[in-house]
Amino acid sequence: MKNLRLIAIFLFAFALFSCNKKETSPQNKTETEKSMLNERLEAFSPVTITTDISWLTDNQKKVVELLSKAGKIADELFWRQNTYDGIALRDSLAKIDAPEANELLRYIKIWYGPYDAMFGEKRFVGNGPDVRPAQGNLYPQDLTKEEFEEYIKNNPDEKKDLESQYTVVVRDGDKLKTIPYHEAYPEMLQMADLLDEAAKYADNPTLKNYLTLRAKAFRTDEYYESDMAWMDIKDNDIDVVIGPIENYTDAMFNYKTAFEGVVMIKDKEASKLLDMYKDNIDYFEHHLPYDKKYIRKSAGGGNILQVVNVYYFGGDCNGGTKTIAASLPNDPRVHATKGGKKSMYKNIMEAKFDKIVMPIAKAVMAEDLIPYCSKNSFTSFVTLHEVSHTLGRGYVYGKKDLAVRKAFKERFSAIEELKADILGMYNHKHLLEKGLIDEEEMKRTIATYIPGLYRSIRFGAEEAHGKANVIQLNFLMEKGAIILDDNGKLTYNPDIFMDKVAELAGMVLTMQAEGNYEAGGELLEKYGQVSDITKKIIESLSNIPRDLDNQ
């Protein structure tokens, strides 16, 4: 039995980091692979994210328990969606009782499969494509983008189902067909039952209503009604994000949504501090730095800002780099009538600042700026990032039926994260002009923003947030807004910094308003590549974790 275990470990290790082509002896190769695995594991700081629920009532604790069970199902469904063989590799390694297998298993769990986004989505274990297929496990593995688009062109009556956010595409002979999520993933019915049960224990009537409607959505793949009800939840201690939500996993078109589950406990005192941002959302919208004809009358009247602590965290939000905040729902119809809900994940944000952002600042920033790197400024920037997802156009100007998400296809995620980031920085200008922050706070914001760019770039330049930050850094350095001082450390030019931030914000807002897919591609091509200077700086950060390992 021991020999079988060792053979199995060898078979997995044989493919580990196969991108390393250097010829070595089998023994040296094994040692090199172990060293590379250890190095990559060290890039994720182990943490245990905890949340105090002792103050909740017995009924509320039961709701949390049931929602967490549903979240674990969503987590398993994301495993299925992300890669076609991730579960098989995970479960095979779990059967091997040996340290090497346990370490490899831990790394597969970090990425929910055998591909590492921090290294160009390259496969690090098992047999299969060297780079993660853009379609994940949501389309046939051999389907190309060109074939899909040609098929829709020839079969326009099938377009709606094929492009739906809630269908899996499969082959049926020489045809393509779709399977609704609730049929492709029958476990969704178990999730629905758990939400129905949780609703029975929910004392808050608005939460009860949402859980009931969300359960219905899991059985029908119709989410609009429950998304609207989610925006109506009030006076709640518990909140939840659950279901097929974000589109990052579908890197081919950004059509299909991926599962996640986040069970949140409201931090009411911290949430009260966000009123300043909420009160200014329409002001931000009306003062966006682009052609006034594109500006909407309102960013949505019901925008909600809340600070929460995460109790359960699984699926897409937990894959690789951990989400620290969310702006939802994504449905532009909901945004048009009710705005959005911005949830700041306080306990995860604080862990990332302490373990990643502050160490980066100490390593790369000019000495006089390091004291200005601030946990509060990090939280403030992340909050305005989420607020800024609500700003700008959800639909292309003059085309009320063409959502910006659809117009930009696979380029949308990076472009949208760029918009939210650069507007998050830009909107501090308005807070300063209105006297809501002072010059010292602005300096703290910029001194925290710059190391934050490197935090996200280290996620991997192909990941949406990483790509967005590469663009910002390259643009602002090219324009002289971010500069290297005589000691090779990062600082900024206060005379032009906010002007260049506004310039980039105007560019991305305009291309979204116009639905200019080609302009998005040009921006990604020109500024989306990691420069030699940035590579050198990132290499100097090798002893700082890239992210958290919350398992």
Residue closest to 95 by CA, chosen among 1, 230, 177, 189: 1
Report yes or no: 477 and 358 within 8 Å, Cβ to Cβ.
Answer: no
Residue 32 has a pLDDT of 65
pLDDT digits (tens, 9 = 90+) for 23-81: 444 445 456 667 789 989 999 999 988 999 999 999 999 999 999 999 999 999 999 99
- Edge to edge, what strands does the sheet with 258-266 contain? 238-246, 258-266, 304-315, 341-345, 325-328
pLDDT confidence bin for 453, thresholds 50/70/90:
very high
Amino acid at 54: S
Round to whole Å and give the CA distance between 96 and 90: 10
pLDDT confidence bin for 17, thresholds 50/70/90:
very low
Residue 458 has a pLDDT of 85
Residue 36 has a pLDDT of 85
Alpha helices (H) in 342-463, listed in sequence order: 346-352, 358-364, 375-389, 404-408, 412-433, 439-457
Mean per-residue pLDDT, 83-104: 95
Mean per-residue pLDDT, 306-318: 96
Mean per-residue pLDDT, 219-246: 97
Which stretch of 24-33, 82-91, 116-125, 363-372 has the lowest confidence by average pLDDT? Answer: 24-33
pLDDT confidence bin for 465, thresholds 50/70/90:
confident
Q: Is the pLDDT of residue 20 over 90?
A: no
Residue 463 has a pLDDT of 77
- Distance from the Cα of residue 218 to its chain's centroid: 22
Q: Is the pLDDT of residue 367 over 90?
A: yes
Mean per-residue pLDDT, 149-165: 97
pLDDT digits (tens, 9 = 90+) for 497-509: 999 999 999 999 9
Percentage of the chain surpassing pLDDT 70?
A: 93
pLDDT digits (tens, 9 = 90+) for 488-543: 999 999 999 999 999 999 999 999 999 999 999 999 999 999 999 999 999 999 89
Residue 21 has a pLDDT of 40
Interacting residues of 259 by C-beta distance below 8 A, sequence separation 6+: 74, 75, 77, 78, 81, 185, 243, 244, 245, 315, 316
Residue 452 has a pLDDT of 94
Domain residues of the chain, as ranges? 1-42+85-131, 346-544
Q: Is the pLDDT of residue 336 over 90?
A: no
Which stretch of 1-15, 195-209, 332-346 has the lowest confidence by average pLDDT? Answer: 1-15
Instruction: Let me know the angle formed at the C-alpha of 385 by 304 and 207, rounded to the nearest 5 degrees.
Output: 25
- Residues paired with 264 in a beta bridge: 239, 310
Residue 12 has a pLDDT of 47
Residue closest to 228 by CA, chosen among 341, 316, 326, 394: 341
Instruction: Compute the mean pLDDT over every residue in the chain, rounded to the nearest whole number.
Output: 91
Which stretch of 11-15, 375-379, 418-422 has the lowest confidence by average pLDDT? Answer: 11-15
Q: Is the pLDDT of residue 291 over 50?
A: yes
Mean per-residue pLDDT, 405-428: 94
Which stretch of 15-19, 234-238, 415-419, 478-482 has the lowest confidence by average pLDDT? Answer: 15-19
